[in-house]
Chains A and B, each alone.
Chain A
Amino acid sequence: MTETARDEPASQAEFEAFYLRTARVLHGYLCRLSGDPATADEVLQEAFIRMIHAAAMEEAHRKAYLYATATNILRDRWRKQKREREWSELSQPETSVHQNFSLSLDMAAVFDRLSAQERAVLWLAHVEEMSHREIGAILNVKEKSVRVIVFRAREKAKELLERAGFRGSHE
C-alpha cells in the first residue's frame, strides 16, 4: 500500500520483493481452491508472469490483479475440464464429516467441504483481509452478493467445525 504508481515497468528487484511478500499466501489460496499443489504451482507461475507483462500499477492493485488473474486461470482450467459447475454450485456431501475429521481441529478439512467460491471468499476476506468490493472485483461478483456469500460460507464452515466436535470454549 506504500508504493506509488509509476510509469516504467517493474524492475527485477521490485518484482522479487513483491513475490516474496505475496507468493506463499497466493500459493495457499490456489492450493485450497484447486486442492492440488501441482496445479497451484502452475497457476501461480502463470499469474506472476502475466503480472510482469502487465502495465505497472500500485501494489494494492497489483495484488488484486494477481488474485483476479490467478482465479481466472484456475476457472479457465476448470472450464476446460468441464468442471465449471463446481465453482458456484457443487458443494461436498456433509454426511462423512465426522468420519474424516481428525480429533485435532483441521481447518483445511473444513475448506475441502466448501464450494470453490466459498473457499475463495473466505480466504480473501480473512487471510488477505480484502473488502467486499475488492473480493467482488476479483471474483466478478457484485459487492452485495459478496457480503451474503461470505456470511453463508462462514456460517457453513462454523457448522462443519461444530459437527467435527470443535467448540470455541474448548480452545
Chain B
Amino acid sequence: MVSQLGLPHLQFLATGAMWTIALSLLALLGGGILGFALALCRVSPAQPVRLLSGLWVQLIQGTPLLVLMFLAYFGFPALGWRLSAFSAAGGALILYCSAYLAEIWRGCIEAVPRPQWEAAEGLALSRIQRMRHVVLPQAIRIAAPPTVGFMVQIVKNTSLASVVGFVELMRAGQIVNNSIFEPFAIYAIIAMAYFCLCWPLSLWSRRLEARHGGAARLAAAP
C-alpha cells in the first residue's frame, strides 16, 4: 500500500524533529554539566586529577559516538542493565558532549591571561575565589562562540540515535521512506530540516564571535 507523501507523514517527521531537539537539549545540558566539571578537573592544581580527567576525555574523544551508543543499547543489557533507546542514545550523547565541551572550556579557561590569575592572587583571593570571580567570568565570554558552534555538531550527531531505533528526525524519515519509498524527496526534506535547526546556531555563533571580537578584546589588555 504505497501512498503519496502527505500531511500525516510530515506530522510524523515534525514529531521526529521535536525529539531531535529534545535529545540535543539533553545532550547539551547533561554534557554541559559533566563537561564543566571535567574542564575544572583538567585545570586542577592536583596532577592526578588532571591526568585522570585527561585520560577520560581522550578515551571518549577516541571512541566513535556510534560505538558508545551500541555499547549503551546492546552492551549494557548483556550485563543485565536494559536501557531504553532514548536513555542509551541520550547517555552516549551526554558522554560524548562532555568530553568535547570539557576540552573547549579548558582551552577557554587557559586563554584567560596568566597575569589575571596573578593579580587576583596578589589580592589574597583563594584559588576557588580567583576561578569564580576573575577567571570564569572572562572564560565564559571566550567560550560562547565555540560552544554555540559545537551545538551544531550535537544536533547533527543526534541522528546516530536512529541506529539504536530511537525515532528522532532521521529515524522518522527512514520509517516514512519504508512506507512510501520516495527516498530523494524524504531525505531532502530531512536534510533541510537539519539545516533549519543548525543554520540559526551557526549564525548565532558567528554573531557572538563578532561582538566579542573573539577573545581578542580580553586578550588585548596590555
- Whether A associates with B in a native complex is no
A-contacting residues of B (Cβ < 8 Å)? none
